[in-house]
Amino acid sequence: MRRQATGRSALMRASLAALLLFLALAVTGCSIATSGGYAGSDVGTTTPTGEKGTWAVYWYCCGSDLESQSGAATEDISEMLSADVGSDVKVVLETGGTSYWRNNVMDPDVIQRYEYGGTSLNKVDEQPQADMGDPSTLSSFLRYCKTNYPADHTMLVLWDHGGGSVAGACFDENYDYDSLTLPELDQAIGSVYSDGSKLDVVGMDTCLMATLDNANVMKKYASYLVASEEVEPGNGWDYDRTLAALGQDPSMSAETLAKTACDAFEQGCEDSGTDKSITMSVTDLSQVDGLVSAVNGMGKEVLTAAAKNSKVVGQFGRRARASVNFGGNNASSGYANMVDLGDLMRKAQDLVPSSDQQVLEALGKAVIYQVRGPYRKQASGLSTYYCYDGDEQNAAAYAQVAASPVYANFIRYSLGEDVTGDVQGDTGVETGQIQGFSQTPALTISDDQHIQMTLDPSSLDSVASVTFNLIYVDEANDEMLVLGTDDDIDADWDAGVFKDNFRGVWGSMDGHYASLTLSDEGDDTNTYTVPIKLNGTSTNMVVSYDFTTSSYSIIGVEDSIDQNTGMAGKTTKKLARGDQIVLVSDAVSLSDTSQVIEYDSDPITYTGPDQFTEIDLYDGQYAYQYTVTDTTGKQTNSDYAFIDYENGVATRRLG
């Protein structure tokens, strides 16, 4: 997905958006009200002339719960209405996919089509209720647009949730959040643009859809793709700036419009204070074949290397976890399983030395423009799939849509599947089958007084990460309070030796310790998920730790990915001064470890992004536990070791 209201409460923003829409319609003199329970009976209508224009923007607006809960679609339609697009530009809007529209115009019980051109909005068509996650609904809209609104240049905008290469985009709230998967997008657009005609631009105002696999589909039907690798913040695209620029210069090229949409998005995010982790890129789809060919070469190289030396599987997994990834990818946030392609190649260049530069060069030709926030400065513009959660069903679904079947086979191999029969033609070697990590971790106190875990190096073939859990032990109250998970460990992967780097500090907010879970490892920053209640509603706060300044910063708040649908049901929202935050932590009973207790901090009033700080830990006893995660998703925990911490001195001991 992308968003809900930022900065203000959802209700306030939805109400304001609805008011803006009403005022915009009043200014244009267009008297519009809808049926289906809304007041009024006069509906402004017009009949499309079929005359060819200069630019036509076909906007497929699947409102979903983004609209019913917070009026996000209404807000963006209001932005459109504030832009003077002139007489040479037409916007054709199809609305549906939501149980409730937070304005006095759209009807949730039917599919409606509107025309916006010059300074007026008019309804031009109405269809029975239909699933906007069904390819036939999209193809019907495109066919209508192509017939009734031909133009020298055309842009298709898909608006709603997104979920990456597997889940797709446009999740219809009225049909159990059914979405348009990549094969369905291929089917829908291909049924209308199979005659050799092309859209100039496909824009996706959704999360997580700037993927190699999506670009591989769109290359057949468009010249440029504009999309985000990351979850979009609450403000989303800036339709006012984008459409106003097009109205002022309808002679602009498709490439210029695509870049304008990126710039407008960045400016809107800067205005809203949500620009820290943004991404938006323009892909020249004529260059995608070359990029796919290069990725095929990379897939063949890494799969061949892994077949000859199984250690490559775990090494590649560790490179993927150290690369910029999108959508959270931890148990708290859910798993989008999308990683930046360029950063992955830079991190894995020692594993694919013959193909990494080919991929990077082809990627540089394909991604011709991008904007990105300071916490995503390593993003290259297109992502690819990596199975962080070890979900075989999800990986199997990816194999059906992958731009590179060879790379998809490497992912399957990493999950422990025997893919010999599928890949012998690709590599000429037998791959056998990877065995997941099965060793029992052994703990000792090292000579230099650290908690040391020693693993047999031969058992590390499929190990993707080693992290630690830190727990405060309160024997007096029969509880262990979980502080969180991090990767601040001294690791010797060749020897299989791992040592703690306990520093006696932890992340906090106004003196309250937070439950931190690592979600992204960057070159200069790490990103963490912190469960909170924001103004009484459960969500996740996202914080970043900057290694160059040794300080934390609050990025915003995000909801979690829906693991049933794959919908990135999360959105980065800027916190507003005065917001009430309660930090949420889990505790386990010492006498009954099956008993989990939720602890809430005292309410904290938000004052600014620097309110999250690193502070000294209390004196007392801490339990320390390593977690080994392999590429199949299996996690193996070590026994507990203990740290007695007093007056800044840490004494390690075994249980």
Say which amino acid occupies 367: V
- Rounded (10°) angle between helices 288-308 and 405-414: 30
Q: Would the pLDDT of 13 be above 60?
A: no
- The helix (H) or strand (E) run that includes residue 248 is helix 239-248
Any idea what DSSP says for residue 99? S
Q: Would the pLDDT of 482 be above 50?
A: yes
Mean pLDDT (whole number) for 89-103: 97
The two tokens of residue 517 are 């879970």
Strand partners, 478: none
pLDDT in the model for residue 594 = 81
CA distances from 353 to 151, 300, 379 (A): 47, 12, 21
Strand partners, 319: none
Q: Are the beta carbons of 5 and 13 closer than 8 angstroms?
A: yes
The two tokens of residue 614 are 């690193």
Q: What is the CA radius of gyration of the chain?
A: 26
pLDDT in the model for residue 458 = 86
Q: Using one digit for the tens of pLDDT, what is the confidence trace for 127-175?
A: 999 999 999 999 999 999 999 999 999 999 999 999 999 999 999 999 9
Q: How confident is the model at residue 570 (pLDDT cuts 50, 70, 90)?
A: very low
Say how far apart CA 246 and CA 339 lie, in whole Å.
Answer: 33
Q: Would the pLDDT of 31 be above 70?
A: no
pLDDT in the model for residue 523 = 84
pLDDT in the model for residue 303 = 92
Contacts of 365 (CB under 8 A, 6+ apart): 284, 287, 290, 291
Q: Using one digit for the tens of pLDDT, what is the confidence trace for 429-449?
A: 667 778 889 998 999 999 999
Any idea what DSSP says for residue 561? -
Q: Which string of DSSP letters, residue by residue, matches 449-499?
A: S-EEEE--GGGGTTEEEEEEEEEEEEGGGTEEEEEEEE--EEEETTTTEEE
What are the backbone dihedrals phi and psi of residue 32, each rounded to the nearest 5 degrees, phi first? -125, 130
Contacts of 583 (CB under 8 A, 6+ apart): 509, 512, 513, 514, 515, 530, 531, 532, 600, 601, 604
The two tokens of residue 356 are 């990494």
Looking only at the bridges linking them, the beta strands covering 497-500 and 451-454 are antiparallel
pLDDT in the model for residue 420 = 75
What are the backbone dihedrals phi and psi of residue 595, each rounded to the nearest 5 degrees, phi first? -95, 110
Q: Would the pLDDT of 43 be above 70?
A: no
| Burial class, 85, CB count within 10 angstroms (exposed 0-12 / middle 13-18 / buried 19+) | buried
Looking only at the bridges linking them, the beta strands covering 451-454 and 367-372 are unpaired
Say how far apart CA 375 and CA 626 lie, in whole Å.
Answer: 28
Any idea what DSSP says for residue 241? H
- The helix (H) or strand (E) run that includes residue 288 is helix 288-308
Say how far apart CA 17 and CA 103 lie, in whole Å.
Answer: 8
pLDDT in the model for residue 425 = 62
Q: Are the beta carbons of 207 and 228 closer than 8 angstroms?
A: yes
What are the backbone dihedrals phi and psi of residue 398, each rounded to the nearest 5 degrees, phi first? -65, -40
Report the candidate in 597, 472, 466, 564 with the shortest Cα–Cα distance to residue 521: 466
Domains and CATH numbers, the chain: 10-275 (3.40.50.11970), 290-427 (no CATH), 442-654 (no CATH)
Say how far apart CA 383 and CA 40 lie, in whole Å.
Answer: 47
* Alpha helix stretches (DSSP H) within 133-199: 135-148, 164-167, 182-190
- The helix (H) or strand (E) run that includes residue 21 is helix 10-28
Q: How confident is the model at residue 19 (pLDDT cuts 50, 70, 90)?
A: very low
Mean pLDDT (whole number) for 400-423: 89
CA distances from 44 to 33, 39, 77, 112 (A): 8, 14, 16, 13
Report the candidate in 224, 358, 340 with the shortest Cα–Cα distance to residue 291: 358
Q: Are the beta carbons of 567 and 561 closer than 8 angstroms?
A: yes
Q: Would the pLDDT of 3 be above 90?
A: no
In this prediction the pTM is 0.91
Contacts of 321 (CB under 8 A, 6+ apart): 388, 464, 465, 521
Q: Using one digit for the tens of pLDDT, what is the confidence trace for 232-288?
A: 988 899 999 999 999 999 999 999 999 999 999 999 999 999 999 999 999 999 999
**Helix/strand/coil for 316:** helix
- The helix (H) or strand (E) run that includes residue 315 is helix 311-322
Q: Which string of DSSP letters, residue by residue, matches 468-479?
A: EEEEEEEGGGTE
Q: How confident is the model at residue 417 (pLDDT cuts 50, 70, 90)?
A: confident
Tell me the Ramachandran region of residue 416: left when phi exceeds 0, alpha when psi lies from -120 to 50, beta otherwise. Answer: left
- Rounded (10°) angle between helices 72-81 and 10-28: 30
Q: Using one digit for the tens of pLDDT, what is the confidence trace for 322-376?
A: 999 998 888 888 899 999 999 999 999 999 999 999 999 999 999 999 999 999 9
pLDDT in the model for residue 593 = 79
Report the candidate in 238, 321, 251, 317 with the shortest Cα–Cα distance to residue 54: 251
Is the torsion defined by CA of 313, 317, 318, 320 positive or negative?
A: positive
Strand partners, 191: none
User: How many residues are there in the chain?
Assistant: 655
- What is the average pLDDT value for the chain, to the nearest integer? 90
Looking only at the bridges linking them, the beta strands covering 451-454 and 442-445 are antiparallel
pLDDT in the model for residue 571 = 63
pLDDT in the model for residue 25 = 39
**Helix/strand/coil for 636:** strand
Is the torsion defined by CA of 164, 165, 170, 172 positive or negative?
A: negative
Q: Using one digit for the tens of pLDDT, what is the confidence trace for 630-654?
A: 999 999 999 999 999 999 999 999 9
Say how far apart CA 576 and CA 557 lie, in whole Å.
Answer: 11
